Structure 1
Amino acid sequence: MRRRGLGNSSSQLQKQLEEQHAETWLQKSIHFMSHQRGFARAASTGLVEPLNFGELPTLLTVPKHRWLMRVYAQDVLSRLEEIKASITSTFGRVLKIDSTKKTVRKLAGHSRGTAARAANMGNEHGQIIMSVLAESEGHGLGKMVEGVIRCYHDAGVSPPEVLYVERDCCGSYLHKMIRAWQNTNICLDIWHFMRGTAVGCTTDSHPLHAGFMNKLSHCIFMWDDRDLQALKEANRAELEAKLVHPTDLLRNSRAEMARHCKRTTRSSSGDGDLDFGSD
């Protein structure tokens, strides 16, 4: 239950336990009856004294999914201090503030409809440092930033180098909030920069919108050369273990590159200039 996810609910776990429990019981029952038959044959020939094995043990029921959830809740409570320590000790040198509506749509009960957006602050490793629920976009960010600054100060961690935001990167409001981090640069997130550029050219429904965004992404990002070279050497070693003469015609797939390689932004000089090409 510690690795709960989509398709791994308590009900699904209870069904899997029932299936495995019944399968194990059947195997043990067959083993029990086979030995019972052997002793019965030996007793009929006079080799051993007759034995009373008794009735076959009945199949015990598996606890319900509510019992599993109760045990899991007790396990979480026993690790509460450890979880708090792991959350509050998460820092980073590159932070990003982003808001979404997907989280608040999952609220149910009395909490449903009490928030419009969820603002998250994460680091370069994809870890969430702090998250708040707000009534509107941009509301409540001041307290969140103050809390993160206080955590950095209390832990004695140096301030982050860059803070990426989705809007108002040049405004004075954010600069006032992080005045304690004087050396931290506030930059606009590249994805929102691309979206803003695409709005001035076309719309999402335009047939060339996907191609334009692909070209724009290629102009901004480039794959890390060292990671690409390491991936090529790993694939070549794998081919050499399977084939006699691996060919150079095999190219790395985009999924492999996204899994094992980093992407960096191109420089503003040389072959890294923003050039949309002849298309």
Structure 2
Amino acid sequence: MRGPLGIGRSLCVLGLAIALALPGLAAAAAPVAAANAAAVSEPGMSMVTFNLHHDREDWPSRRRTIVAELKRLQPDAIALQEVIQKRNVRNQAQWLASQLGYRYVFVSTDPVGAPKRYGNALLTRRPILARSEHLLLPLDDYRTVAHLRIDVDGKPVNVYATHLNERSDDAGQRIRRSQVEDLLRFIAGSAAGAPVVIAGDFNALVDAGDLSELRSHYGDSYGSVHVNTDLAGVSTLNRHYYQAPSRIDHIFFQQDEMVAREAKILFDQPDDGGRWASDHYGVWTRLQFAPAN
């Protein structure tokens, strides 16, 4: 899907062509061209979030598709959910990081050395300035947050990866609300004043009441880019597996510090053999640092 920036480039070219044909419009076209050039050159970062579906359905084949797309995109940070390591299955985040040349952190409630560990991960190609992790309340739901502070061209940015409770009933909504509150407390204690990006599988629509406190602090990158799109039809649950569209995988960003410029859905087509990368689609977004006031 093309974001506003791609449309802006097309309009810029069209505007310059008209200016050449009609000299009187040249003065108006020049500021448009300058504004678009500034938008492209403004520093920032890109990020992906993706639920790996752990090792189900032929992981050795699926991972080839995943790593090829991530190599093409070269995102600054990658949030992964449903990451597993067990006998005969190397930690999936570790494997992907080795293929991409990235560093990674993996967070699990399963103790180090356990025969099976399951959790969330963050990968980055940027220098790591700080790292931390957190077990979300309630502790009996076994949910975690991974955190990295990375250096993006000399500017620190906090990235967080999480995966909230999956229940669709009232109890699930209460648990997710509690997890969001705890997540925000953890961010407040770990961000050290640097911009914040939060990615993951939230198991909730972006406008759900469970996420209202999160949305009061952070913007939805995909929704910010696709403001004129019927978002009700957009899904991050793979429609091959799930009947109804549901956008539950999100990348949130700190709106006073960053601006969402592009966003698209990843892994929404099967490979040549008809195999899907996961039972979720991924989300990619490009963020720019907000101009200084």
| Alignment TM-score, normalising by the size of structure 1 | 0.25
- Structure number with higher strand proportion: 2
Of the two, which has the highest radius of gyration? Answer: 1
- Larger relative CO (CA 8 A, sep 6+): 1 or 2? 2
